[in-house]
Amino acid sequence: RRLASQRIEVINDAKVEEVRPDAVVISDGRTIPTRTTIWAAGIEPPPLVGNLDLQKDHRGRILIDQYLRVKGRPGVYAVGDCTSIQYDGPPVPALAQAAEQEGKRAASNLAAEIENKVPVPFRYRSVGQLVDLGEGSALVDILGVNLSGLLGAYVWKAVYLYELGYDLNRAHVLADWTIDLFTRPDTSKLFEDPNQPRVRT
Ligand SMILES: Cc1cc2nc3c(=O)[nH]c(=O)nc-3n(C[C@H](O)[C@H](O)[C@H](O)COP(=O)(O)OP(=O)(O)OC[C@H]3O[C@@H](n4cnc5c(N)ncnc54)[C@H](O)[C@@H]3O)c2cc1C
């Protein structure tokens, strides 16, 4: 509702077929007139991974098995965005929480391998999602609990600070947020500035 009030439309299940100077054509047949187009469609592995002589998927990510071992390379483990796991569990998104879970499991499996113990298969468990909407508003879905608006923004900030891990980083970010309150305008307020031209996405 909030996005709609800011004239933002989220289009699911559609691919961009063509980006023209004045329009974007999408696969459901629509042509959306545009003036500024911002492309934010994902990531690809870095050249280092591209140059590795390993089995990869169609997106160039390293294939790993359920124990996070690189396929065809005994004793080698890989985790994170540059990997593609082949297992019967839920899809593993390119998110920090997935990379962290994989890192812990890979470390314990590597230790198990060294100690001749049985490795444990990896299984991704989503602990939720947080979406910052700017202007003191966020969407929160943590362990099935959904929050939005200002309360969501507070939870978003609390989780963000917690996940930073180190007190020095937390202090930096807190200081940044405090300074931002009094100095830089929040760029996400662009949509509500009546003096700005109307923005269409
Ligand atoms: C703009 C942006 C916003 C994001 N927001 C979120 C979010 O809100 N929540 C969330 O869960 N996830 C978010 N992600 C995704 C998250 O950052 C990644 O999923 C996560 O960092 C993956 O961890 P990783 O260890 O696989 O890779 P990275 O964290 O990318 O670590 C890879 C490291 O390898 C280093 N490296 C690369 N090449 C070499 C080399 N040749 N030699 C040595 N080192 C090298 C890089 O410098 C980097 O430090 C975001 C990603 C982006 C790009």
Long-range contacts at 107-116 (CB < 8 A, ≥ 24 apart): 109/67, 109/68, 109/69, 109/77, 110/77, 113/75
Q: What is the ipTM of this complex?
A: 0.94
**Count of CB atoms within 10 A of residue 187's CB?**
8
Domain of 86 in residue numbering reads as 47-114
- Is there a single domain that holds both residue 82 and residue 139? no
Q: Is the CB of 96 under 6 A from ligand 1?
A: yes
Q: Is the pLDDT of residue 164 over 70?
A: yes
What mean pLDDT comes out for the span 80-109? Answer: 96
Residue 120: inside a domain, yes or no? no
Mean pLDDT check: name the lowest of 14-23, 63-72, 98-107, 185-194.
185-194
Q: Give me the DSSP letters along 65-92.
A: -TTSBBTT-TT-B--STTEEE-SSS---
pLDDT of res. 188:
60
Q: Indicate whether 5 and 58 sit together in one domain.
A: no
| Pocket-testing residue among 51, 59, 83, 95, ligand 1, by greatest number of atoms within 8 A of Cβ | 95
134 and 200 within one domain: yes
126 in contact with ligand 1, CB cutoff 6 A: no
**142 and 193 co-located in one domain:** yes
Ligand 1 mean position, distance from CA 79 (Å): 11
74 with 58, same domain: the answer is: yes
Residues 6+ apart with CB under 8 A from 11: 26, 28
Residues 107, 141, single domain; the answer is no
Using N-to-C axis directions, what is the helix angle for 167-182 and 149-164, rounded to 10°?
140
Domain assignment present for residue 191? The answer is: yes
Residue 119, domain member (yes or no): no
Q: What is the pLDDT of residue 41?
A: 77
Q: What pLDDT digit, counting tens, does each position of 128-152 carry?
A: 999 988 778 899 999 889 999 999 9
The per-residue pLDDT for 187 is 64
pLDDT of res. 39: 87
Residue 121 lies in a domain: no
The answer to whether residue 22 scores a pLDDT higher than 90 is yes
99 Cβ inside 6 Å of ligand 1: yes
Angstrom distance (rounded) from CA 142 to CA 158: 13
Number of domains in the chain: 3
pLDDT tens digits, 61-92: 999 999 999 999 999 999 999 999 999 999 99
Could you tell me what percent of the chain has a pLDDT over 70?
A: 91
**pLDDT(185) > 70:** no
Considering the domain architecture, whether residues 32 and 62 belong to the same structural domain is answered as no
Ligand 1 proximity of 19 Cβ (cutoff 6 Å): no
CATH classification at residue 74:
3.50.50.60
The rounded distance, in Å, linking the Cα atoms of 132 and 142 is 14
Cα of 97 vs centre of ligand 1, distance in Å, is: 11
Quote the tokens at residue 61: 């990510």
CB atoms within 10 A of CB 59: 11
In this structure, which residue's CA is closest to atom 30 in ligand 1?
Answer: 81
Regarding whether 64 and 30 lie in a shared domain, the answer is no
